[in-house]
Amino acid sequence: MPRISETFDPNTVAWRRVTDPACTEYKIDFEYFLLGYDLPTGRLDMLLRYAKGRGHCRRHRHVASTVTLVLEGEQHLRELQPDGSVKAVARKKGDYALAAADALPHHECGGDEGGTILLSMTAPDGILFEYFDENMENPWTLSIAEYVDAWNNGAVYGAAP
């Protein structure tokens, strides 16, 4: 079971930054760090840090079951419900959440001062996320193996095909 880091200290890990100036609806600006993974069991642990000023990550949904722990700042979600409505969720430092596999699509960002979260995901079929374009259409998936390959090659995970 490869372990990349033995610490989650945000001052000592080697963050990888993701931005997307082409997205004009909101500011995609976050950093991530792979803590460890186990390909045979479908487990991946990572840190995600949202930029100050409500930096977002890409439009997505979690295919893997996911544990979320807010380590610093805030995490805000706008979850798209099956009836078309939107459910707002706000989490603060210390908040813990457990989401079953096949979560609903959502927009996700930090608070005004950003935020750092721990994500611990389990995906027996190997698929972590499903991403969407700006219209919440044309989905593509990201597997644990693809994430790890991108990490090992210095690339950014989850980019549109």
The pLDDT tens digits for 94-113 are 999 999 998 898 889 999 99
pLDDT score at 28: 82
Structure tokens at 59: 């439009």
Residue 113: inside a domain, yes or no?
Answer: yes
Indicate whether 11 belongs to any domain: no
Q: Is residue 123 part of a domain?
A: yes
Residue 115, pLDDT score = 96
Q: What is the CATH number of the domain that holds 25?
A: 2.60.120.10
With a pLDDT cut of 90, the percent of the chain lying above it is 61
pTM exceeds 0.75: yes
- Rounded CA-CA distance 5/121 in Å is 17
Radius of gyration in angstroms for the set of CA atoms belonging to the chain, rounded to a whole number: 15
- Percentage of the chain surpassing pLDDT 70? 97
* Domain count for the chain: 1
CA pair distance 59, 87, nearest whole angstrom:
15
> Quick one: pLDDT at residue 96?
98
Structural domain includes residue 115:
yes
Is the residue at 76 inside a domain? no
Is 128 within a domain? yes
Q: What domain range includes position 97?
A: 16-48+58-71+85-152
pLDDT at 161: 62
Given its phi and psi angles, is residue 138 left (phi above 0), alpha (psi -120 to 50 degrees) or beta?
left
- Examine residue 4 and state whether it is found in any structural domain, yes or no: no
- Tell me: pLDDT of 156 over 70: yes
With contact defined as beta carbons under 8 Å apart, do 52 and 110 qualify? yes
In a domain, 90, yes or no: yes
